[in-house]
Amino acid sequence: MRRLLLALPFALLPLAVAQAHEHKHDHDHHDHAHDSLGAHEHGVASLNVALDGQTLELQLESPAMNLVGFEHAAKSDADKAKVATAKAELEQPLSLFALAAGDCKATQVELQSPLFGDAGHHDHDHHEHQGEHSEIHAHYRFDCARANDLKQLDLAELFKRFPATEKIQVQLIGPSGQQGVELTPAQPRLNF
């Protein structure tokens, strides 16, 4: 399954390249780890989804601005509280992704961001040279007892809890093949 999810960005590279030509970039730099899926753009996140048998994997990548409202290190109590709240929300993926139909249980939740105090995060040196453009990465693995009942991925709750997220570029590999779609608060659902 890990191979399947990691191959996803490469399998969908032509789609990502086509989208990159359609969208202008707001910043002068690129995060090298994410060049294949596009550049850091406030309001925009990416979500890779892979459903293989009863295993569902999700990888969410978002500028911290979308999830906490800023990208600098949290120094004030108010900023630290925003980071803690966002982290707590992201640690509850079943409520964010509406997966009840598949009887899914989260078996793995990994969150990474310099804002969470990840000392070894790969962007640390990059930030000092390029300004602060922190990202938050979330990787989820679910075991879904009724995976065949999963008919759609519903991100309405994610958009509601993180209103600065205006659109999510979703790349999905599922039983009916691969697809790419842009979800928004007005259109938060993707059919498997």
Check if the beta carbon of residue 172 is closer than 8 Å to that of residue 140: no
**Three-class secondary structure of residue 82 per DSSP:** helix
Average pLDDT over residues 84-106: 94
pLDDT recorded at residue 39 = 60
CA distance 115 to 125: 14
Sign of the CA dihedral with 141 first, then 105, 52, and 54 last: positive
In tens, the pLDDT along 145-159 reads: 999 999 888 999 999
Average per-residue pLDDT in the chain? 80
pLDDT tens sequence across 7-27: 444 444 444 433 433 333 333
More confident residue, 158 or 128: 158
CA 20, CA 17: separation in Å to the nearest integer?
A: 5
pLDDT(120) > 70: no
